[in-house]
Amino acid sequence: MKRFFLLSFFFLYFQASYAAEPPKSEQKTSVVKSEDVIGHKIGEYRLIDHNGKEFSTSEFAGKPFVVSFIYTSCIHICPTITLSLSNVVKEKTGRLGKDFNILTVSFDPDKDTPQKLKEFGSNFTKDFAHWRFTTAGKETIDRMTRDFGFFYKKEGDTYQHINMVSVVDANGQILNHIYGIDFKPDQVLGPIYHPDKFKKVDKAGFAGLLEKVTLFCYKYDPATNSYRLDYPLLFQIALEGTVLFSILFFVWKKEIIGFFSRFRRKKVDDPVLPL
């Protein structure tokens, strides 16, 4: 009975812990998944633009383009990401459309009509020919976000989502993801103008696992343009590991002590004879 109660407590504790997991933790896991799609060739997606006309991503083929996923009723994060993209355009005045294009895709098609997309986009650009604001049906949005490794989840009237933009090269391969909301223009322009420096080298086995662990345990610091250990996350992992070990030890205390007692007696009864 005691074991049943403690195991039930253990299950409910961890279920509640992960159910209440804050968005940043969930986004961190999604960063690991998003890195897996770098180097993959994207498909063709038929979207609806800010004028209500059909737009295919193949129209941007032949030049690099930047992709961002947003929803227009977002109060802070999505406008800040889009503002950061407008700073990229300002950094390279006159080069939008010549060197690269931008595609912003809403993952809230039920609310983001072409009119709302145009109103939203008008805050950041006048060049709608080379910076398209689009959306699509749920099936297309789900396929596109999956292909880009973009995580989003509806929570009431809002969304949880990873904060990132993606750079696609002239051949339609995902070249790089830039994480955060107030990224610097060079972080986006680097992959566009120097793609060879960002070609992904696939790592198999332990090296690939180590890379994923590094991505999970480190977080990006935009102030220094580098990654640093996420100490709160490591503390959370250590705390939950300690709780798990304590519960398991308390439930199977007699068995654990008995095992080590038998192990010690065996060593005493069967000493190693000298050669």
Residues 105 and 179 reside in one and the same domain = yes
Whether residue 111 lies inside any domain: the answer is: yes
Residues 165 and 244 reside in one and the same domain = no
Return the percentage of the chain with pLDDT > 90, whole number: 50
Which residues contact residue 171 at a Cβ distance below 8 angstroms, ignoring those fewer than 6 apart? Answer: 41
Distances (CA, A) of 189 to 55, 142, 146, 236: 24, 27, 24, 36
Whether residue 258 lies inside any domain: the answer is: yes
- How many angstroms separate the CA atoms of 217 and 231, rounded? 8
Residues 165 and 58 reside in one and the same domain = yes
Residues 46 and 180 reside in one and the same domain = yes
Is 204 in a helix, a strand, or coil?
coil
Residues 70 and 165 reside in one and the same domain = yes
CATH number assigned to the domain comprising residue 157: 3.40.30.10
Residues 72 and 131 reside in one and the same domain = yes
| HSE-CB of 224 using CA atoms within 13 angstroms | 6
Q: Helical H runs in the chain?
A: 2-19, 23-35, 77-91, 114-121, 138-148, 185-193, 205-217, 231-251, 253-269
- Rg value, the chain, Cα: 25
Higher pLDDT, 261 or 121: 121
Is 131 in a helix, a strand, or coil?
strand
- How many angstroms separate the CA atoms of 173 and 199, rounded? 10
Residues 51 and 102 reside in one and the same domain = yes
Residues 218 and 87 reside in one and the same domain = no
**The last residue of a domain, from among 156, 177, 198:** 198
Count of the separate structural domains present in the chain: 2
Higher pLDDT, 266 or 246: 246
Domain hosting 13: range is 1-23+203-270
State yes or no: pLDDT of 269 exceeds 70: no
Q: What are the tens digits of pLDDT across the range 141-187?
A: 999 999 999 988 888 888 888 889 999 999 999 999 998 888 899 99
Whether residue 14 lies inside any domain: the answer is: yes
- Compute the residue count for the chain: 275
CB 178 within 8 A of CB 162: no
| HSE-CB of 97 using CA atoms within 13 angstroms | 11
Residues 170 and 210 reside in one and the same domain = no
**The last residue of a domain, from among 177, 198, 219:** 198
CB 63 within 8 A of CB 130: no
Q: What are the tens digits of pLDDT across the range 194-207?
A: 998 887 655 454 44
Higher pLDDT, 15 or 62: 62
Residues 72 and 86 reside in one and the same domain = yes
- How many angstroms separate the CA atoms of 174 and 163, rounded? 16
CB 153 within 8 A of CB 19: no
- How many angstroms separate the CA atoms of 265 and 78, rounded? 65
CA-based nearest residue to 180, from 29, 27, 37, 72:
27
Whether residue 275 lies inside any domain: the answer is: no
Whether residue 265 lies inside any domain: the answer is: yes
> Tokens 């990401």 label which residue?
81
